[in-house]
Structure 1
Amino acid sequence: MHIHHHPSTPVAARSAARWTRLATAAALVVAAGGALAQDKISDGIVKIGLLSDLSGVYADIVGPGAVIAAKMAIADFGGKVLGKPIELVVADTQNKADITAAKAREWFDTQKVDMLGDVAATAPALAALQVAKQKNKIALFPSAASSRLSNEDCSAISVHWTYDTYALAAGTGRGVVKSGGDSWFFLTADYAFGTNLEKDTTEVIKAEGGKVIGSVRHPLNAADFSSFLLQAQSSKAKIVGLANAGGDMINSIKAANEFGITKNQRLAALLVFINDIHSMGLPVAQGMLLTEAFYWDSSDEARKWSRRFFEQHKRMPNMAQAGIYSGITHYLKAVAATGTDDTTTVMAKMKATPVNDFMTKNGKIREDGRLIRDMYVYEVKKPSESNYPWDYYKLKATIPAEQAFLPLSRSVCPLVKK
């Protein structure tokens, strides 16, 4: 007689119920995971803000070209990060600090902007930085120059990306003094950028054994440079240092040529972008020394990216525009790697990750928020040396990263451990 042992129903029921509970728990975990990913990207969108000069004295340096560079960075990333869309919002700062601060505040509060990809010009950048600090949002500064952004005004949420006034002084200032230009008179834009650039360059000139005879301040977007240049001329300094930029720098060089100042004195323009050389033309600009973080024709990788940019903008990219692409890309990589757009997490990842792209090799973000990278001193070619459009520079010197920027031992940034 065969006795069939049927498993007792209560046990089977209990086991089935346990599996159901486990399956439900697993489903909940998966669902929570999905919700978590959603939560980790605030509002389900990564929104990048660009506060630029779209119509003023720096529009040729940043302006529409900055917007193209930012859009290229987003498109090259696939338009999405962690499956969430990346959006770009743009506003014109009119180079005014108050307008910039108000716009940054509105963006963070009501537009849910996650980070600033650029803020054009020093005074607006310093204003936007204060708002970003209050709101704990990341701010990148690829185009603004003042070394204050990673020195006395440094912050845990910001990176000074491309170049700064210290690097310009270390490159152009030192290069000019070493080539015999040991007495200087400054023509300085009368706001934070100009005064900072004059100060940083003065320190380098004195350290190299040169002297500064005097300086004169001019307003941003000055209509007429004649009175300032006459003072420079009567100073008899060997070098007239131009601590200005964009249209102001171009107009002061043109005026200096008209006045015949360049017959007896050399001009040293401390912040020059390739657009400026293009506007002036090689006959006027030839022989100038300048310090750059990027030149479109410096490598195959740089040329490839720059030609793509040129297709859209009809002019080659400058270091600020290239820096905007580089900075936004580094940010998006950090969001993808950490799975969140949380400011502290993303910034930690950005600082831990070396920057390697078409313009920067082995760049590192220091604790003061300064991206440390090699800088380059170029001389502008003579017209006879230029073989094709935008063939403007010859390399004179490479400044290694650790010499190009303010040493941490001299930094007053509160984040630097002394």
Structure 2
Amino acid sequence: MTSSGKKPTDISRRSLLGTAGAGALLAVSPFSINILRAQEQTIKIGFPVPLTGPYGTEAQDQVRAAEVAIAEFNEAGGLNGRKAELLVRDDKLNPGEAATRALELIEKDKVNFIVGSLSAAVQLAVNNVTKERGVIFNSISQSDAINEIADFSKFTFHEALNPHMTAGAVGRYAFPKFGKKVAFLTADYAYGHEMVRGFREAGKAVGIEELADIRHPIGATDFSTLLPRIQALKPDILCICNFGRDQQIALKQATDFGLKRNIKLITPILLYTGRLAAGAQAFNGVIGGTSYYWGIEDQFASAKAFNDRFRKMHDGKVPSDYGALGYGGVKTLLMAAKEAGSVESEMVIAAMEALKYDYYKGPQYFRKCDHQSVQSVFIIESKTQNQRNEADVFDVVATEQPNEANLRSCESLGHKA
């Protein structure tokens, strides 16, 4: 008997197992170890949005909805065991700040993808950074320019509607119904300018008469000098082409000035968050467009599933329109990565281009020439009666179905078809 009291057969067995284990480690090194390490690494998605500033309410809802997409992906097992992580940054609604945050996300945080932005100019700044560094960017803010050849790259995707689609859909609905004499109240930056252009293009088909395009700076709080000028023009329709708090204040003051008595107020985008903040009176009877309204859950199972998960994660609330874009922008990238079996850019790009998806609002797909998401536009009207609950603030009065004919042509954007 040995001094340890163990039998030689025990030692031999242990030695054999140890040797076998060492041999197994040698057999999987170094390539297999690298694979194991890759599986342990999280898939990082940078998410720069304007958490502070006039669009902060919408941006915070984008974050909440993006968290839903992350949770769903992780609970479903991720990408071969790799989980996803959302890295949120405040771009302060400033192109320079956004570019700096995007660069930090890529170089310091080593993100795999970037999703975000809530301004036409800001998303172009982010896109300039990402395309130079070969990182996929899925924009969730409206812009016409991001699809144009001057700003586009193969790394650029656009989950949001663009102004040509949105204003075009609202114009095609409103101009034949409410009259051809049209005035514009326009936020004086890219978003406002592009929305006006979209209305004008839609108006050509019915021969609208443009009376004026009256512009204001972003962040305006007093429209009292502008509204009497508009009232004096006696338009049939006033297109209010602004966003966020600008929209809330403009609609409230237009209501107070009595413009609704003789003028139909329409907006390219009618914001759920704005309607809740400003109240029923300011928004009553206003027509607008949206990429998403929670009430479509009666029509689409995907919307119901998304809404239910959002409610569960966020105290029973429903997602806003721009919030839903945060979900869609993250979800499409994660599903494409899963389909590709990789986070490598070229493979994910190919998978994104092949996606035919219905994640939250009905069928969508990315047009190959410019990576614009082809999707429905919902025409909504604010209501004050027959509300099922406090979130039931809009009626969907029409739906423009996904149709590439409603997009600017690939050739007009500088692409080959």
TM-score of the superposed pair, with normalisation by structure 2: 0.86
Q: Which residue of 2 aligns with 1:325?
A: 327
Q: Deviations over 1:58-80 (max 9, x none)?
A: 122222x2111111111111164
Give the aligned residue type for 1:62: A
Q: Is the 8 A contact 1:188 1:198 kept in 2?
A: yes
Please state how far the C-alpha of 1:31 moved relative to its aligned partner. Answer: 5.6
Q: Deviations over 1:126-183 (max 9, x none)?
A: 11011011111111112x1122222343221121113111121122122111113211
Displacement of 1:96 in angstroms is 0.7
Give the aligned partner of residue 76 of structure 1: 72
Q: Distance in 2 between matches of 1:209 and 1:348?
A: 42
State the partner residue of 2:62. 66
In structure 1, what is the equivalent of residue 10 of structure 2? none
Give the structure 2 partner of residue 338 of structure 1: 340
Task: Report deviation, 1:194.
Answer: 0.9
CA distance in 1, matches of 2:255, 2:173: 22
Secondary structure of the residue that 1:98 maps to in structure 2? helix
Residue equivalent to 2:52? 55
Mapping of residues 401-412 of structure 1, within 5 Å: 401-402=402-403, 405-409=406-410, 411-412=412-413
In 2, distance between residues paired with 1:213 and 1:37? 65
Cα distance change, pair 313–217 in 1 and its aligned pair in 2 (3 A)? farther
Distance 1:231 1:113 in 2: 50
Displacement of 1:36? 4.7
- For these two proteins, the number of residue pairs brought into alignment is 388
Q: Which residue of the other structure, out of 74, 79, 83, is the alignment partner of 1:85?
A: 83
Equivalent residues of 1:375, 1:404 under 8 A apart:
no
Asked if the contact 2:381/2:397 (under 8 Å) is kept, the reply is: yes
Instruction: Give the letter aligned to residue 354 of structure 2.
Output: A
What secondary structure, in the 3-state scheme, does the structure 1 residue paired with 2:295 have?
coil
Q: Does 1:347 align with 2:349?
A: yes
Other-structure match for 1:273: 271
Contact 2:74-2:83 at 8 Å conserved across structures: no
Which residue does the alignment assign to 1:291? Answer: 289
Structure 2 alignment gaps of length 5 or more: 1-22
Task: Give runs of aligned pairs for residues 18-417 of structure 1, distance below 5 A.
Answer: 32-33=31-32, 35-36=34-35, 38=37, 44-63=41-60, 65-78=61-74, 80-142=78-140, 144-152=141-149, 153-300=151-298, 301=301, 302-311=303-312, 312=314, 315-381=317-383, 383-402=384-403, 405-409=406-410, 411-413=412-414, 416-417=415-416
* 3-state SS in 2 of match to 1:226: coil
Q: Secondary structure at the match of 1:116?
A: strand
Instruction: For 1:233 and 1:403, locate their aligned partners in 2 and report how far apart those are by CA, in whole Å.
Output: 37
Q: Aligned AA for 1:185?
A: A
| Residue aligning to 1:12 | none
Equivalent position amino acid for 1:112 in 2: K
SS at match of 2:311: helix
1:4 aligns with none
Which residue does the alignment assign to 2:20?
none
**Is the CA contact (8 Å cut-off) linking 1:162 and 1:323 kept in structure 2?**
yes
* Native 8 Å contact 1:295 1:319 kept in 2: yes
Contact 1:171 1:404 in 2 (8 A): no
1:3 aligned residue: none
Tell me the distance in 1 between the aligned counterparts of 2:180 and 2:36: 60
Give the match's secondary structure for 2:337: helix
Equivalent-residue separation in structure 1 for 2:381 and 2:166 (angstroms) = 14
SS of equivalent to 1:194: helix
| 2:187 partner letter | A
The answer to whether the 8 A contact 1:185-1:215 is kept is yes
State the 4+ residue runs in structure 1 displaced beyond 6 angstroms. Answer: 24-27
Secondary structure at the counterpart of residue 226 of structure 2:
helix
Q: Structure 1's 44 and 387: CA in aligned 2 closer, same or farther, altered over 3 A? A: closer
Instruction: Check whether the contact 1:171–1:290 (CA below 8 A) recurs between aligned residues.
Output: no
Post-superposition shift, 1:230? 2.4
The answer to whether the 8 Å contact 1:374/1:404 transfers is no
Kindly report the root-mean-square deviation, in angstroms, between the aligned alpha carbons of the 2 structures: 2.4
Cα gap change, 1:410/1:288 in structure 2, threshold over 3 Å: closer, same or farther? Answer: farther
Q: Distance in 2 between matches of 1:256 and 1:188?
A: 14
2: CA distance between counterparts of 1:119 and 1:353? 22
Report the secondary structure of 2:294's partner residue.
Answer: coil
Query: Once the 2 structures are TM-superposed, how far is the Cα of residue 306 of structure 1 from its aligned partner?
Result: 1.5
Q: How big is each residue's C-alpha offset from its partner over 1:86-140, in whole Å with a ceiling of 9 and x where there is no partner? A: 2211111111111111111121111112211211211111110110111111111
Report the identity percentage.
26
- Give the deviation of 1:205 after TM superposition: 1.4
Q: Which moved more, 1:305-314 or 1:104-113?
A: 305-314
d(CA) in 1 for partners of 2:94, 2:25: 55
Does the aligned pair in 2 maintain the 1:184–1:212 contact within 8 Å?
A: yes
CA contact (8 A) 1:141 1:161 kept: yes
Structure 2 counterpart SS, 1:299: helix
CA distance in 1, matches of 2:145, 2:27: 50
Q: Following the alignment from structure 1 to structure 2, what is the Cα–Cα distance between the partners of residues 60 and 126? A: 21
Q: CA deviation at 1:38?
A: 4.8
Cα gap change, 1:97/1:362 in structure 2, threshold over 3 Å: closer, same or farther? closer
